[in-house]
Amino acid sequence: MRVTKACEAIDKGCCLELYYGRHTRFVEPHAVGYGPYGEPALLAWDGSDAPGGWLFVTLEDPREIIVSGYFREAPRPGFLRDDPRFAGII
């Protein structure tokens, strides 16, 4: 379900809201795949903190993932679809 939402956001060109309890991240997803241990993972641009930057997170950590109605700017500078942190890309 989490992978499906992340892929849906990429397909629609939308941002994702990642809820971690009291903390929320608003990110621009760029790629979905599997981390080194087979866990579902996301490569996203996190513009929450200036100047922004790349975030590689497991999709198992957020308590909830929501596809937002905000459109993302993609691709962001430095985007590598075949990021070496992925064991495989979806």
Write out pLDDT tens, residues 22-61: 989 999 999 999 999 999 999 999 977 667 789 999 999 9
Q: Cis peptide before 40, with omega less than 30 degrees from 0?
A: no
Closest to 57 (Cα-Cα) out of 70, 40, 74, 75: 40
How does pLDDT run across 69-79, given as a tens digit for each residue? 899 887 898 99
SS3 at position 76: coil
Return all residues near 38 (Cβ < 8 A) that are at least 6 apart: 87
d(C-alpha 24, C-alpha 35), whole Å:
22
pLDDT tens, position by position, 1-33 = 899 999 999 999 999 999 998 989 999 999 999
Question: Which band of pLDDT confidence, cut at 50, 70 and 90, is reported for residue 81?
Answer: confident
- Residue 67: what pLDDT? 97
Task: State pTM to two decimals.
Answer: 0.91
